[in-house]
Amino acid sequence: MKRILTVAMLIMIMIQPLNVFAEEADPDLDLDLDGKSVILIERNTGEILYQNNSNEQLPPASMTKMMTLLLIAEAIDQGKIDLTDSVIISENAASMGGSQIFLEPAEEMSVDDLLKAVAVASANDASVALAEYISGSEQAFVQAMNEKVAELDLKETQFQNTTGLPAEDHYSSAHDMAMIARALLRYDFITDYTSIYEDYLRKGTEDEFWLVNTNRLVKFYPGVDGLKTGFTQEAKYCLTATALKDDMRLIAVVMGAESPKERNASISRLLDYGYSQFHHEKVYSLHDPVTNIKILKGKADQVPVITDDALSILTKKGADLSQLETKVNIDEHMVAPIEAGEVVGSLELYLDGELINEIDLISEQTVARANLWELMIDSSKRILR
């Protein structure tokens, strides 16, 4: 049984809901873009602001590495690996062609430096080295990549490797790439790497390697701090880019452009359009406190509840005042044990009675189950009240 707790405030802000896709609102919009497939979304709401042929299955080239980076970020966040860990490079990883940092078999490099090599220089050898370190083999890691595809409910994606090197039945779409980018950007530290324009590995040694970001927009478009380029003869020029301006993060994807110049120009036009036409209003930030819930049979009798993502609304610029209402849905009887990060309910955002956004609520802390003695003491206290 669920109990709906209505947050007692109505939030008044200068907004109007955007409940339809932008291309439905303006089907004749033409941004004069180069590429076989394009899409623009707002990160927090996932709202599609513009798209053209965004569900076509195409080779993603090195944009594949966004999924590789997502699994790496998860492993770091979950404590399975640490940035300071030293990785011993295998012959398989060292043998990777294409973009690389020329790792040698048995060379040791930190997770931090390997992650930097993937994020900045799109290094295939570093990608495989990290995949092997996390999953034991590249094949096992690829299986985890495709499991994540299913988890994210991506309909037009299948991976055969961690790098994006050409392979049969290795494909994705602009829409799915945007969704992978959206998931990846939950990990704030990723843009600490993808925003680096140049750096060095093995600095001060005879094998010093200069890293230069393959995404030139990091330097030349204000607010761009990621994410991933791609190129093969089959895929042509691809880019998933993200920018943060005025507290609004956009994700733009172009696949199959004829040149890097046209690819970057198309991404820039998508971002220009998004920032000129739309406004983002955040209602709750990631991990904001929302309420406390009572816990039965626990070592603590209540636990703070926090957001598992940002809750926000996207609007056309110049919209009128509207009234928003948030509602908290939480199980009425939560019984210990409860794990930190466990989903315990949801937070919904309504406008004029219509649900426009929803995020999970999670427990901020772990609450262990009380032992028999503790339960007896608690029962005694309740009787004496």
Tell me the pLDDT band of 88, cut-offs 50, 70 and 90: very high
Give me the pLDDT at residue 20, please: 35
Asked whether residue 10 carries a pLDDT value surpassing 70, the answer given is: no
Give me the pLDDT at residue 41, please: 97
Cα 63 to Cα 59: distance, rounded to the nearest angstrom: 9
Mean pLDDT of the chain: 88
Average pLDDT of the segment spanning 280-305: 88
Whether 162 and 145 have beta carbons less than 8 Å apart is answered as yes
Average pLDDT of the segment spanning 71-97: 97
Give me the pLDDT at residue 319, please: 60
Give me the pLDDT at residue 302, please: 86
Asked whether residue 142 carries a pLDDT value surpassing 90, the answer given is: yes
Tell me the pLDDT band of 280, cut-offs 50, 70 and 90: confident
Instruction: Write out pLDDT tens, residues 18-58.
Output: 333 343 445 568 888 999 999 999 998 899 999 999 999 99
Least confident piece of the model among 80-84, 273-277, 314-318: 314-318
Tell me the pLDDT band of 14, cut-offs 50, 70 and 90: very low
Least confident piece of the model among 76-90, 123-137, 197-211, 308-322: 308-322
Residues 6+ apart with CB under 8 A from 338: 295, 298, 303, 344, 363, 365, 366, 367
Output the pTM of the full model: 0.83
Average pLDDT of the segment spanning 64-70: 98
Asked whether residue 343 carries a pLDDT value surpassing 80, the answer given is: yes
Asked whether residue 385 carries a pLDDT value surpassing 60, the answer given is: no
Between 338 and 73, residue with greater pLDDT = 73
Tell me the pLDDT band of 300, cut-offs 50, 70 and 90: confident
Cα 18 to Cα 5: distance, rounded to the nearest angstrom: 25
- Kindly list the catalytic residues: 62, 65, 122
Average pLDDT of the segment spanning 126-145: 98
Give me the pLDDT at residue 92, please: 97
Asked whether residue 94 carries a pLDDT value surpassing 90, the answer given is: yes
Tell me the pLDDT band of 70, cut-offs 50, 70 and 90: very high
Asked whether residue 12 carries a pLDDT value surpassing 90, the answer given is: no
Least confident piece of the model among 95-109, 187-201, 362-376: 362-376
Residues 6+ apart with CB under 8 A from 156: 55, 56, 57, 171, 172, 173, 175, 176
Asked whether residue 285 carries a pLDDT value surpassing 50, the answer given is: yes
Asked whether residue 15 carries a pLDDT value surpassing 70, the answer given is: no
CATH top class, domain 2-16+285-384: mainly beta
Average pLDDT of the segment spanning 100-127: 97
Average pLDDT of the segment spanning 193-203: 96
Query: Domain ranges in the chain?
Result: 2-16+285-384, 35-258
- Report the CATH fold assignment for 35-258: Beta-lactamase (3.40.710)
Average pLDDT of the segment spanning 259-278: 96
Strands 354-363 and 86-88: unpaired
Between 103 and 29, residue with greater pLDDT = 103
Average pLDDT of the segment spanning 125-151: 98
Give me the pLDDT at residue 5, please: 38
Q: How many other C-beta atoms are found inside a 10 Å radius of the C-beta of residue 7?
A: 14
Cα 214 to Cα 39: distance, rounded to the nearest angstrom: 20
Tell me the pLDDT band of 327, cut-offs 50, 70 and 90: very high
Whether 35 and 254 have beta carbons less than 8 Å apart is answered as yes
